[in-house]
């Protein structure tokens, strides 16, 4: 046990050093930009994963919630002059509330129908963003969103923003880990596995379903705020259906039901995006990969690793059936 913990700590420290050193290894600003976007997508993925992967609640409104969070943070800072450091958590909270409201239909419909309902609600959010021109400036978007300032220092360049996003992503990951590993996570999985049995065991499944949606809203809101204040511009079309599909693909590829999968999935898809030069070939590879993974590895890449590990472990021990009779 001791050896394993030490090895794990070693890996973690190495990983941390690699993350801190990463910007120095990049050769141009575009690569840094990709890393920053990656961080934001990781957060979005973790939120989506908690809802779909752990609680089994299909939430296809995450991209729209991301946009909503971005706009909330923008309007708070630009129109109301509120400090970024207050706007950030506030956007998270307000988007969490909206996320929870979007979760209400999940009490009545499940699975495919829930997917359709959340897509519809996402569409509504987008329409509001486009049409409420007086508040949101409509399709033109909002420019000159201020960058965050800390002790007078402006976090504006890709390089500086990287560390900011790195910290937020690590916090986001640890927070998700904490929730998943304890009572909330357990109840989520119970709802996903068998909500009838969960209710029979005294779990208020409605409460946890809404909570799952709210948490995905929280992550989307924070991600939105980070995004808006990074590129200093928001417009409704960034957060549409194609973004949602991108995020969903990341979760599927990486593995739903496992937040490590969120990291892997986001990384792979972003890598794929940066191979744009290969155009048609890229699309073919991408599409093939998605189909293969959905068909053969529904738990994603993380699931693949787990399966291999499990298979190895099972070969060593088997519970004899005779033990079933005392």
Q: Could you list the residues that contact another protein (CB under 8 A)?
A: 175, 178-179, 182-184, 186-187, 189-190, 192-194, 196-205, 211, 257, 319, 321, 323-326
In contact, 301 and 261? CB cutoff 8 Å: yes
Gap between the Cα atoms of 126 and 288, Å rounded? 30
Tell me how far, at minimum, the Cβ of 204 lies from another protein, in Å.
5
Tell me how far, at minimum, the Cβ of 229 lies from another protein, in Å.
25
Tell me how far, at minimum, the Cβ of 292 lies from another protein, in Å.
24
Q: What are phi and psi of 57, to 5 degrees?
A: -100, 115
User: Which CB, 182 or 309, lies closer to another protein?
Assistant: 182
Tell me how far, at minimum, the Cβ of 95 lies from another protein, in Å.
16
User: Which CB, 133 or 182, lies closer to another protein?
Assistant: 182
Q: What is the DSSP string of 226-278?
A: HHHHHHS-B-GGGGSHHHHHHHHHHHHHH-TT-HHHHHHHHHHHHHHHTTGGG
User: Which CB, 74 or 205, lies closer to another protein?
Assistant: 205
User: Which CB, 52 or 75, lies closer to another protein?
Assistant: 52
Tell me how far, at minimum, the Cβ of 178 lies from another protein, in Å.
6
Nearest to 139 by CA among 150, 128, 124, 149: 128
User: Which CB, 152 or 324, lies closer to another protein?
Assistant: 324
Tell me how far, at minimum, the Cβ of 186 lies from another protein, in Å.
6
The DSSP H or E segment spanning 322 is none
Tell me how far, at minimum, the Cβ of 184 lies from another protein, in Å.
6
Gap between the Cα atoms of 311 and 303, Å rounded? 12
Alpha helices in the chain (DSSP H): 2-25, 29-49, 62-78, 84-102, 111-131, 133-136, 158-181, 183-193, 195-200, 205-231, 241-254, 259-273, 279-296, 300-316
Task: Determine how many CB atoms are found less than 10 A away from the CB of residue 109.
Answer: 14
In contact, 261 and 106? CB cutoff 8 Å: no
User: Which CB, 159 or 175, lies closer to another protein?
Assistant: 175
User: Which CB, 295 or 319, lies closer to another protein?
Assistant: 319
Gap between the Cα atoms of 53 and 34, Å rounded? 25
Tell me how far, at minimum, the Cβ of 148 lies from another protein, in Å.
23
Cα-based distances in Å from 265 to 244, 287, 300: 14, 15, 8
Gap between the Cα atoms of 178 and 186, Å rounded? 11
User: Which CB, 34 or 206, lies closer to another protein?
Assistant: 206
């Amino acid at each position: 046990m001791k050896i394993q913990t030490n090895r794990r700590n070693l890996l973690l420290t190495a990983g941390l050093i690699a993350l801190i050193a990463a910007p120095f290894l990049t050769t141009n600003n575009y690569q840094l930009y990709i890393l920053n976007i990656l961080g934001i997508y990781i957060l979005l993925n973790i939120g989506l994963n908690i809802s779909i992967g752990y609680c089994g609640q299909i939430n296809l409104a995450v991209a729209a919630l991301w946009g909503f969070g971005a706009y909330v943070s923008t309007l708070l800072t630009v129109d109301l002059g509120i400090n970024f450091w207050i706007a950030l958590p506030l956007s998270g909270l307000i988007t969490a509330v909206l996320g929870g409201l979007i979760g209400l239909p999940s009490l009545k419909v499940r699975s495919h129908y829930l997917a359709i309902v959340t897509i519809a609600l996402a569409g509504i959010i987008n329409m509001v963003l486009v049409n409420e021109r007086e508040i949101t400036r409509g399709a033109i978007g909002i420019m000159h969103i201020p960058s965050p300032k800390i002790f007078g220092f402006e976090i504006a360049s890709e390089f500086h923003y990287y560390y900011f996003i790195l910290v937020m992503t690590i916090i986001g990951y640890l927070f998700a880990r904490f929730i998943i590993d304890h009572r909330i996570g357990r109840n989520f999985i119970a709802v996903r596995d068998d909500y009838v049995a969960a209710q029979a065991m005294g779990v208020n499944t409605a409460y946890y379903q809404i909570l799952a949606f709210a948490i995905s809203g929280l992550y989307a809101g924070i991600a939105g705020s980070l995004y808006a204040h990074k590129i200093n511009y928001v417009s409704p079309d960034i957060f549409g259906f194609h973004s949602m599909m991108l995020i969903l693909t990341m979760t599927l590829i990486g593995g739903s039901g496992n937040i490590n999968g969120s990291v892997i999935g986001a990384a792979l898809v972003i890598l794929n995006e940066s191979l744009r030069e290969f155009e048609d070939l890229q699309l073919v590879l991408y599409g093939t990969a998605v189909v293969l993974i959905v068909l053969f590895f529904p738990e994603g890449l993380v699931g693949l690793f787990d399966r291999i590990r499990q298979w190895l472990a099972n070969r060593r021990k088997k519970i004899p059936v005779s033990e079933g009779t005392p």
